[in-house]
Structure 1
């Protein structure tokens, strides 16, 4: 619905929580089919002992590979790395996608 109304859409995934490569690929494909504009991929970090433990540490090379895959699938912007979060460089992501800065200036 947001896309139909002209909004820029964004979502993010945390990796290293037990997902399999096929599941990441399938999820990226599903999100691309929905025409999500901006994707963030980050390393899951266990916030407290009460939360799920980290299953594995994703390598920098894997983050690069998933970013490349996301861009091939048609995402307008993909930020991918161990410390990337949904708010990671949000203003820059939006400006790159829309061509307009938060001050309303064209890029």
Structure 2
């Protein structure tokens, strides 16, 4: 008796990156010299998101100062902050025509403010150029500095996320420099500010 072929579930399959929407997003990102977590993190769902005309933009460069074991983003010494980036992000989102934009960033422990000012400027520029687009920010822990977190919140995003990524027990093993309790305090601070808070678990 031969082997029985088992059909793979739909969620296990990834799409081939093709189509007008996918190409459009790719060209906008390339032309405006932007980074996305989709490409930097080698996300297997990129075709699905870009094919729908959207992408998760990653500000403050594509080199992270941390080296979390679950993440494919490059680790090293980042380039200086690009103060023209907020304008390019806002204009790119306008061209994409998305109603909800997700923005994240690498960790910038090399900067005194952790990149908080670029974060705030990006959100404000987004609001100016795309008043009908809601903004979700996925922020680093800023070493637990609530003043820096407040700079992001004060800029007015609709959602402020900070990912726990994993459980307390293995946080020291897979999250570079991060502390589970610190992340909990970051989330608590975000929630108490009144803005919609969110977190995610990767491992």
TM-score, normalised relative to structure 1: 0.47
Q: Larger relative contact order (C-alpha < 8 A, sep ≥ 6)? A: 1
Q: Larger C-alpha radius of gyration, 1 or 2?
A: 2
TM-score, normalised relative to structure 2: 0.29
Q: Which has the higher helix share?
A: 2
